[in-house]
A and B are shown apart, each in its own frame.
Chain A
């Protein structure tokens, strides 16, 4: 995201098989597609807050990709750790929610039922809760609303 261009060209793919230099420690990439990432996003944000903020502060210092490799590895390891934990404890609920997102245009508001189950499972087992920053304090957050106006027409 340092560049807003995809590594793709119309005529030919921009493929470079050269591996990372061995001076850079190896880290497994997440390899998670968009829907599971969206499912886990708030818990990644909560679980990895320190690493994420550290990394973003580092990026604010310098946009050079070489500058924040160490912090970036920590971010990826932390997210990897969270996904592994979630899959180990709440695999069924996790899968139910991201498959629902996959079927519903990746909209949270169409998947509240599986989301509630998933959130409560994560809260019980991993003690992480979904908090949306900036929500009005006197009302329940949008994912906890009992009678939402926008929802799936077929429940």
Chain B
């Protein structure tokens, strides 16, 4: 008779094998993060929309500030152009005074429409 002891599981069986990860759950869940990102994006796009409307108004403001200045700038440059034209006509008259039949300031076109001078004598 050989004395032996049969190797048996402990009473109540073996402990369950710890194969599951045992990490604490940290931070918000996926749905929360996804929701937060969506909310932030939505807020941002809403601001972008408002900003686009505002930008349009800023452009309108800039355009009208220029429109209001057009008449006075135009008036000033008109006087300057008129002065230069008159001076050019006077010079032409002086230079061409000996040429019979010369018409001072005659247009190159058969039109009454104003044509700005394309050549200036410096």
Contacts and interface: CB of A to CB of B under 8 A. Distances in A.
A107 to B, nearest CB: 8
Interface in A34-80: 37-38, 41-42, 44-45, 48, 51-52, 55-56, 59, 62-69, 71-73, 75-76, 79
A19 B83 contact: yes
Place the interface of chain A in its size category.
35 or more
B69 A41 contact: yes
A138 interface: no
A150 B58 contact: yes
A3 interface: yes
Contacts of B70: 1, 56
A38 B65 contact: yes
B50 A149 contact: yes
Contact of A24 (B54, B58, B77, B82): B82
Place the interface of chain B in its size category.
35 or more
Contacts, number: 138
Nearest to A13: B122
B54 A149 contact: yes
Contacts of B117: 3
B122 A18 contact: no
B51 A63 contact: no
Nearest to B50: A149
Given A59-B74, A72-B75, A79-B72, A3 B61 contact: no
Contacts of A14: 120, 122
Contacts of A2: 74, 77-78, 81, 114, 116
A45 B70 CA distance: 10
A16 B84 contact: yes
A39 B52 CA distance: 24
B63 to A, nearest CB: 9
Interface in B83-122: 83-88, 90, 113-114, 116-117, 120, 122
Interface of B: 47, 50-51, 54-55, 57-58, 60-62, 64-88, 90, 113-114, 116-117, 120, 122
